[in-house]
Each structure stands twice: as C-alpha cells, then as structure tokens.
Amino acid sequence: MKIWQRRAIGILTLGGGSIGIAAAITLLLTRTNPIEWIFCIAFMAVYAWGVWCGVRLLEGQLGAERSSLRYWLAQVPAFGSPLLGYFLSSGFHTTVSVQFAPLKLNGNFLLGSTFNYSLFQPNQPWFIGVNVFAVAVAWLLARGGQQSAP
C-alpha cells in the first residue's frame, strides 16, 4: 500500500470513528429506553475500535491493515426487516440497496459517520444493501496487507 493511501485511509478511519462516537453520544443522551442505550454503547465501542485502527494505520504499525480491514468489513452490509436492521458507516459511505415490497432500488452517500439500527419494528421494509465505498477500502487494505507481508 502506498503511503498516501495508508494516510488517507488512516485519517478517514480515525476521523470517522471520532465523529461516530460523538454522534452516538448525542443519540445516547436523547434516549430513555435502556435497550437503546445498549445499542448506542455498542456502536460507540465499534467507533472506538475505528479510532484505534486509524491511529495504528497512521503510525504504520505492523498488522494495522488487518485490523482496519475487519473494521471496514463491518461497514459493508446494510439490511433491514421488521425484525432487525443494521447500517454502519465511518467517514464516508456510498450505499446501494434493494428494497422489497414495493420493489425499489436506492442509492445513498454521505461524508460523515452514521449508524442505524432497528429491532422489532413491524413498519420497517425489507431491504438489503452494500456500502460500495467500504468494499473498495476493504479491497485496498486487503491488497496492501498482502503486499507488505514478507
């Protein structure tokens, strides 16, 4: 991996994780349901992991690509149903999804960090999506980790 790629991904990972923590804290302070607190704290932990991964990338530590790869892979899926929904992005996302009943193709992008969750919400539609940007970053990290291996 080229140094500029490592730095760009490191900054995006570190900054996105920091913004995600701030967003999760803001959401946590507005919630009254303890189950929602658990979700917010869980997402804060994931974003804290992103901060740690970003620092490791920027410092050029051994194995930083591998831990960051896992962090970015956690951002690839997006799905929702009346039972459970999940979406996570850190720093930037470009997501393509297909919604069922009614059938609809959606696209979304955002500079910043966001997360969504749902649990037992019967009005939620069925959809499945992919964060294309996270796939590209994960591919770069996987490729870069293989090139830097002895």
Predicted confidence pLDDT, tens digits, the chain (150 residues): 789 999 999 999 999 999 999 999 999 999 888 888 999 999 999 999 999 999 999 999 999 999 999 999 999 999 999 999 999 999 999 999 999 988 999 999 999 899 999 988 999 999 999 999 999 999 999 987 665 544
In this structure, what token pair is assigned to residue 62? Answer: 């051994």
Residue 147's pLDDT is what?
58
Determine contact, residues 136/109, Cβ cutoff 8 Å. no
Spatial CA neighbour of 114 closest among 41, 42, 22? 22
Q: Rounded CA gap, 34 and 38, in Å?
A: 6
Residue 150's pLDDT is what?
44
Domain residue spans in the chain?
3-148
- DSSP code of residue 90: S
Residue 53's pLDDT is what?
97
